[in-house]
Amino acid sequence: MYRYDEFDHEFVTARVAQFRDQVGRRVSGELTEDQFKPLRLMNGVYLQLHAYMLRVAVPYGTLNSEQMRMLAHVARKYDRGYGHFTTRQNIQYNWPKLSEIPDALAELASVEMHAIQTSGNCIRNVTADHFAGAAEDEVADPRPYAEILRQWSSLHPEFVFLPRKFKVAVTGAERDRAAIQVHDIGLHLKKDAEGRLGFAVYIGGGQGRTPMVAKKIRDFLPEEDLLSYSEAILRVYNLNGRRDNKYKARIKILVHETGADEIARQVEEEWERIRHGALKLPQGEVERIREYFAAPDTLTALPPSPALAIERARDPEFDAWVERNTHPHRIAGHVSVTISLKPIGGTPGDATADQMDLVADLAKRLAFDEIRVSHEQNLILPHVAKSDLKAIYDELVVAGLATANAGLVTDIIACPGLDYCALANARSIPVAQRISQRFGDMERQRDIGDLKIKISGCINACGHHHVGHIGILGVEKKGEEFYQISLGGSGDENSSIGEIIGRGFSTEEIVDAIETVVDTYIAKRESHDETFLAAYRRLGQAPFKEALYGTA
């Protein structure tokens, strides 16, 4: 994985010192809150419902065991022994003291981690497919490009005060596991007819109060033009994006109001001006960055593991876990493992310091020292020899991390909601927990099959409800929590925004309503192989509406 060079080290260390000085001046009264707030936000420090919250970047979701151990250490020393992995592949700590945050950041910097640009109207942490560099179906590893974008966008002077925040996601496979079509820029790394690498470029996707699926403005952008084209997009947005209304300031609104064709024309025009300039990527530099992400030399093809087959036959729970929580690897004899942070009845995405340490330990001993955070709020060991699966599984079981539910109905994305968030209108976590309990039976989950439930506690949609096969949006109505259901959303290569099915449900009713939706699907599906999403796209709203409200 990428290692800091001298410049990176100096830059991050200087930033910690700068923030330490700013915190000191805030505490001494030299800075007012109005002066300090934008400074703390630039360093990932929010003031949430109960306390400060520190969001630490995990660039493109990749980290090693030393970094994961540091996340555990920060959780213990500066927080309350746990952290929350987010849909942007980052981690959030819910209880740090302001005066101690510079110390925490200094410790994080010692393992090449930081909180820069995890907030504010700038280019945020670039996200990527969590199976990057490992997936069997991948054309090329998207992370070198995510890293190049990170270097270009870090404190880019032109883009630190954009109209609004800006999120970029990159995938290197046809199967989109990074939800690129609901990002401000989505990049699909692919090869052209001549075998050259480049990108399909999508812009203007996003969720929030005005969900939009991104528009493809270029089918193939040569690799070498990644930065100049990105800069052209950002420049058009920075100049023309609305600054008069926070809710209309994202690029998706600009694209929607101006039209994708016209925006594409403006981007191409700007790009023509700059494409042959300093931003052209030298091939040598791409190769240099790519080498950081090369798989370890010891990751070589292995013969099939007879022991695995025996263990699977012997232990049905292990067999189910292998079935659901492993993903095909490009190197024979290996898989990527999903470590579920969705235990039945648990808080989606939370991990204790001990659990983080265990994952770090497993990665170090048995998984080539690599860990990923997925946007679905799970952890991933991208490179695991099949012959080591049982050993890993056994340790995960002890730590409560072996729930065999990846991609199933209890693998729920949920935002922190009104339990933690200052912006939320309703709670998300307890709803996720109750749904998880309702569908906790593993056999039932497996029978239901692939089904993504995503829950947001307010219209900002951090819980991605718009792209949930079943989306749940919490609202406040006459002082009570209400939950609106939408169906048919998807964040993959065939992205769609879910459609609201009808009036909302109370806290007491919502779990029954979800069960009604699921039972309706089971009753109406053509076969076990027809997924919820496929069935919904075939059937439309009517049968679900009828089941929920008694009217078609």
The residue ranges that bind another protein (CB under 8 A) are 26-29, 32-33, 47-52, 80-82, 94-99, 343-347, 350, 352, 354, 400, 418-420, 424-425, 427, 429-430, 433, 476, 479-481
Count CB neighbours of 233 within 10 A. 25
Nearer to another protein, 176 or 419 (CB): 419
Task: Select 434 or 545, whichever has its Cβ closest to another protein.
Answer: 434
**Rounded CA gap, 436 and 445, in Å?**
10
CB of 116 to another protein, least distance (A): 20
User: Residue 525 in 3-state DSSP?
Assistant: coil
Work out how close the CB of 55 gets to another protein at its nearest, in angstroms, rounded to a whole number: 14
Measured at the CA of 25, the angle between CA 21 and CA 29, to 5 degrees, comes to 170
Is the CB of 94 or the CB of 119 nearer to another protein?
94
Minimal distance, residue 341 CB to another protein, in Å: 12
Task: Please name which of 172, 170, 180 lies closest in space to residue 136, comparing C-alpha atoms.
Answer: 172
Minimum CB distance to another protein smaller for 388 or for 419: 419
Nearest CB to another protein, comparing residues 480 and 519: 480
Q: Are 42 and 117 in contact (CB under 8 A)?
A: yes
- Min separation Cβ 87 and another protein, Å: 18
Nearest approach in angstroms of CB 416 to another protein is 8
**Can you tell me whether residue 238 is helix, strand or coil?**
helix
Are residues 117 and 97 in contact, defined by beta-carbon separation less than 8 angstroms?
no
CB 114 within 8 A of CB 316: no
Would you say 385 and 341 are in contact if contact means Cβ atoms under 8 Å apart? Answer: no
- Give the shortest CB-438-to-another protein separation in angstroms: 14
**Least distance from C-beta 504 to another protein, angstroms?**
15
> In the 8-state DSSP scheme, what is residue 248?
G
> C-alpha distances in angstroms, 146 versus 127, 137, 437?
7, 19, 37
DSSP for 361-409, please give it.
Answer: HHHHHHSTT-EEE-TTS-EEEEEEEGGGHHHHHHHHHHTT-----TTST
Q: Closest approach of Cβ 80 to another protein, in Å?
A: 6
- What is the signed CA dihedral for 195, 196, 198, 200, rounded to 10 degrees? -30
Q: CB atoms < 10 A from the CB of 25, how many? A: 14
Residue (150 or 342) nearer to another protein, CB: 342
CB nearer to another protein: pick between 44 and 211: 44
Identify the three-state secondary structure at position 313. helix
Spacing of C-alpha 253 from chain mean position: 22
Rounded CA Rg of the chain: 23
Tell me whether residue 58 or residue 424 sits nearer to another protein (CB atom): 424
Burial of 51: CB neighbours in 10 Å, binned 0-12, 13-18, 19+: middle
Smallest distance from another protein to CB 348, Å: 11
Q: Which amino acid is at 272?
A: E
Residues in Cβ contact with 370 at an 8 Å cutoff, skipping those fewer than 6 apart? 1, 62, 63, 64, 363, 381, 382, 383
Nearer to another protein, 29 or 157 (CB): 29
Q: Shortest gap between Cβ of 289 and another protein (angstroms)?
A: 37
Q: Choose between 400 and 543: whose C-beta lies nearer to another protein.
A: 400
Tokens of 467: 């792209």
Q: What distance lies between CA 264 and its chain's CA centroid? A: 27
Q: Smaller CB distance to another protein: residue 222 or 345? A: 345
Environment class of 177 (CB within 10 Å of its CB; exposed 0-12, middle 13-18, buried 19+): buried
Q: How far is the CB of 7 from another protein (least distance, A)?
A: 33
If the CB atoms of residues 370 and 419 are measured against another protein, the closer one turns out to be: 419
Cα three-residue angle 338-457-125, rounded to 5 degrees: 55
CB of 353 to another protein, least distance (A): 8
Residue entry with tokens 């952290």: 83
Altogether, the residues listed in the chain come to a count of: 552
